Amino acid sequence: MSELLHGKLGDFIELNYGKSLPKRDRDGEGFPVVGSGGISGYHSEPLVEGPALVVGRKGSIGEVYLVEGGCSPIDTTYYVNEFGEGSVRYWYYLLRSLPLTEMNRATAIPGLNRNDAYDLDVAIAPPTRQGEVAARIDQKLKQLQGARERLNVLPSQIEKFRQSVLAAAFRGDLTKEWREQNPDVEPASELLERIRAERRERYIEDYAEQRRAKAEAKARKKGKPWTEADDQKALVKGRKKASQRYEAPEPVDSTEMPDLPEKWCWARLEDLTPPDAPIVYGIIQPGPHIPDGVPFIRPADISDSTVVESELPRTSTEISEKYQRAALKCGDLVYSIVGTIGKWVIIPPSLEGANITQSSVRLRPMRPISVSLLLRGLQSPQVQEQVQRLLFGNAVQRLNVGHVRELAVPLIPTAEWEMLEPQLEKAIAKSLDLAAIVDRQMDRLSSLEQSILAAAFQT
């Protein structure tokens, strides 16, 4: 420790400003062009000869990149390419050990002031020992990298496990024995016919009531009396008109769909949602945030199937009322259809009356269909294959609301789903627990890496 040279960072190295190199001026060959986020292109003429360290100055401040050869650090960075007789890897690790990423003083785009960096206290090993120190750090970090690589394969394996469970559940594998022991359950096709009949009746009654209310309002506006007999007459007329207007969702052509277990059937999502609360998207232009306004949910607000209610954006009451068609109730399923397809959240009581944006749809199941059946059905490989065929868009993939309404999901007899659902949810919960363990271990490795660097450069 007595050999260490103590001082300020600015006493030992110089952080040089990078130089602007717009994309239109790069020829795409040769040496890396390095920004605050790493390599962003290539150009045949380097700004500096290597080796060099590039440090984020704007944007991803304090990030440090080691470039062995020549490179072109751009104007969002600093660079260091003078190390005397010292080791470039030693300085790479030393800069990474410093709190450069935490030294933002800008109010808009994060920025690192080099004078702040120069003022940091450091203890530098003599040039003759720097290579030895860097080699020891290399060895320790190599061990960490091995552990990280082993952990990196686990998320995909966990996802494969989850998908295999969903596939088995919606093939009927998990309840095969139960079906053999319970052959007399009501077929799902009969359940679907009851739902379709109720859906039609709800449409007719809702339409008839709207016509009745409109006729009454018109009569009263003209000063005419309105009686119970008028009510009944208007309702009868409205029901007749509604019966003529109603269009049931097209049945699924099962000849083109995967086989399902006996007594299961395919059903359109639209068939399983009420006509007075159809599958719809929400607000197109929510306007500026209104602190006491109506909360609305964007896909970006959904993380791990939850939302932080206190952080949700809010729109005005006037805008929200224009989109009452998408107003949320407890138990509704919100499902993203733009960008990251399939992010979801089930609405809690505290978000009753909230809304969504055009990047999501709201699904409200008809009884006795459970929201979990819709959700897990949407996530099943059988339905995801349909989703993949319907996706469109280049930079940003998306579905439209018509696509979602047409998706065919396996409909399972009620009694069988009541048996299957706990098994399925238990298996999915297990996969989520495993994923959380992996995340914690990855965080632990990152903390351990910083601890190794901090220990190596203790002042």
**How wide is the angle at C-alpha 90 spanned by C-alphas 88 and 91, nearest 5°?**
65
How many residues in total does the chain contain?
Answer: 459
Residues 267 and 394 grouped into a single domain: yes
Same domain, 431 and 408: no
Same domain, 41 and 96: yes
Are 39 and 141 within one domain? yes
Owning domain of residue 229: 198-248
Asked if residue 228 is part of any domain, the answer here is yes
Name the residue with higher pLDDT: 255 or 161: 161
Tens-digit pLDDT profile for residues 224-236: 999 999 999 999 9
Q: What is the mean pLDDT of residues 205-213?
A: 93
CATH of the domain at 265: 3.90.220.20
Helix or strand or coil: residue 345?
A: strand
Judge whether residue 367 has pLDDT over 80: yes
The reported pLDDT for the residue numbered 250 is 87
Asked if the model's pLDDT at residue 109 lies above 70, the reply is yes
Average pLDDT estimate for 258-278 = 94
Given a cut of 50, whether residue 124 has pLDDT beyond it is yes
Kindly tell me if the per-residue pLDDT of 107 is higher than 80: no
pLDDT recorded at residue 459: 58
What pLDDT shows up at residue 1? 46
Helix (H, G, I), strand (E, B) or coil at 281: strand
pLDDT in tens, 42-81: 999 999 998 999 999 999 999 999 999 999 999 999 999 9
Q: Residue 380 gets which letter from DSSP?
A: S
Q: Where are the alpha helices (DSSP H) in 288-395?
A: 317-322, 371-379, 381-390
Backbone angles phi and psi of 135, in degrees to 5: -65, -40
pLDDT of 171 over the 70 cut: yes
Cα torsion at 166, 168, 170, 175 (round to 10°)?
A: -120
Residue 14: what pLDDT?
95
Model confidence at 456: pLDDT above 90: no
Q: What is the pLDDT of residue 82?
A: 92
Task: Report whether pLDDT(108) > 90.
Answer: no
**Cα distance between residue 428 and residue 422, in whole Å:** 10
pLDDT value at 2 more than 60? no
Which tokens in the block code for residue 47? 């700004």
Tokens at 404, concatenated: 């979602």
Q: Write out pLDDT tens, residues 386-423.
A: 999 999 988 889 999 999 999 999 999 999 999 999 99
Per-residue pLDDT, 197: 94
User: Could you tell me if residue 193 is inside a domain?
Assistant: no
Residue 177 corresponds to which tokens in the numbers above? 């024995």
Q: Alpha-carbon distance 155 to 80, whole Å?
A: 37
Contact assessment for residue 27 and residue 44, using Cβ atoms and an 8 Å cutoff: yes
Q: Is residue 286 in a domain?
A: yes
Residues 373 and 306 in one domain: yes
Residues 232 and 139 in one domain: no
Q: Is residue 17 part of a domain?
A: yes
Could you tell me what percent of the chain has a pLDDT over 70? 99
- Residues 130 and 233 placed together within one structural domain of the fold: no
Residue 447: pLDDT over 50: yes
Which amino acid, one-letter code, is at 449? E
400 and 456 share one domain? no
Q: How distant is the alpha carbon of residue 369 from its chain centre?
A: 26
Range 193-209 average pLDDT = 94
Number of independent structural domains in the chain? 4
361 in the Ramachandran plot: left (φ > 0), alpha (ψ -120 to 50) or beta? beta
144 Cα distance to chain centroid: 29
Q: In this structure, what are the phi and psi dihedrals at residue 108, rounded to the nearest 5 degrees? A: -110, -95
In a domain, 95, yes or no: yes
**303 shares its domain with 376:** yes
Residue 189 lies in a domain: no
User: Angle CA(22)–CA(26)–CA(30) in degrees, nearest 5?
Assistant: 140
Average pLDDT score, the chain = 93
The span from the CA of 337 to the CA of 358, in Å, is 9
pLDDT score for 106: 74
Q: Do 244 and 281 sit in the same domain of this protein?
A: no
In a domain, 181, yes or no: no
Count of alpha carbons within 13 Å of 216, Cβ hemisphere only? Answer: 17
Helices (H) and strands (E) in the chain, counts: 12, 18
Cα–Cα distance for residue pair 336/298, rounded to 1 Å: 8
Tell me if 348 is assigned to some domain: yes
Residues 261 and 387 placed together within one structural domain of the fold: yes
The tokens 């506006």 sit on which residue? 221
Give the pLDDT confidence score for residue 111 in this predicted structure: 92
Question: Residue 105: pLDDT above 50?
Answer: yes
Are both 400 and 265 inside the same structural domain? yes
